[in-house]
């Protein structure tokens, strides 16, 4: 396993986890159709709880013998997640700031770089 590739992946995943902490601070749930109309205390709890099965699925896959599939899924998610934040940048409930976007876009860049590093041997 290439050390650079592993480091890039771990940085990207760490940035995603930091973003999710920042998403709580920024009340990201207010941008979701199903959560924005619910009382804030309940919406926050649902938003936080929703992340448990997502984290479990990702960690189980990354810790399994099929970790390489998990890498690709996480990489694609990091890239798509950054693009979704570009699309919703002007949303009226968006409370993310420059620090927030630096985390989001850096995670997307790590996902793209890791994916390229990982897939390059298959195409050479």
Of the pLDDT bands very low, low, confident and very high (cuts 50, 70, 90), residue 1 is low
Model pLDDT, residue 83: 98
Model pLDDT, residue 124: 79
**Per-residue tokens: 81:** 């997640």
Q: Using CB atoms within 10 Å of the CB of residue 64, give its burial: 0 to 12 exposed, 13 to 18 middle, 19+ buried.
A: exposed
CA distance 88 to 98: 14
Q: What is the mean pLDDT of residues 104-122?
A: 96
Q: What is the mean pLDDT of residues 97-108?
A: 98
The pLDDT tens digits of the residues spanning 58-91 come to: 999 999 999 999 999 999 999 999 999 999 999 9
The pLDDT tens digits of the residues spanning 38-64 come to: 999 999 999 999 999 999 999 999 999
Q: What is the mean pLDDT of residues 9-30?
A: 97
Model pLDDT, residue 62: 95
**Per-residue tokens: 106:** 């850096």
Three-state secondary structure call for residue 113: helix
**What range defines the domain where residue 84 resides?**
3-123
Number of domains in the chain: 1
CA distance 74 to 47: 20
CA distance 109 to 86: 13
């Amino acid at each position: 396993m290439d050390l650079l590739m592993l480091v890039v992946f771990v940085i990207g995943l760490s940035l995603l986890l930091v973003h999710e902490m920042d998403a709580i601070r920024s009340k990201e749930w207010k941008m979701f159709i199903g959560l924005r109309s619910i009382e804030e205390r309940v919406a926050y709890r649902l938003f936080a709880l929703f992340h448990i099965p997502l984290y479990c699925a990702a960690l189980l896959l990354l810790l399994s013998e099929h970790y390489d599939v998990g890498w690709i899924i996480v990489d694609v998610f990091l890239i798509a997640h950054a693009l979704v934040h570009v699309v919703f940048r002007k949303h009226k409930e968006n409370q993310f700031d420059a620090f927030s976007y630096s985390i989001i876009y850096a995670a997307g860049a790590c996902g793209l770089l890791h994916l390229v590093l990982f897939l390059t041997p298959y195409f050479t």
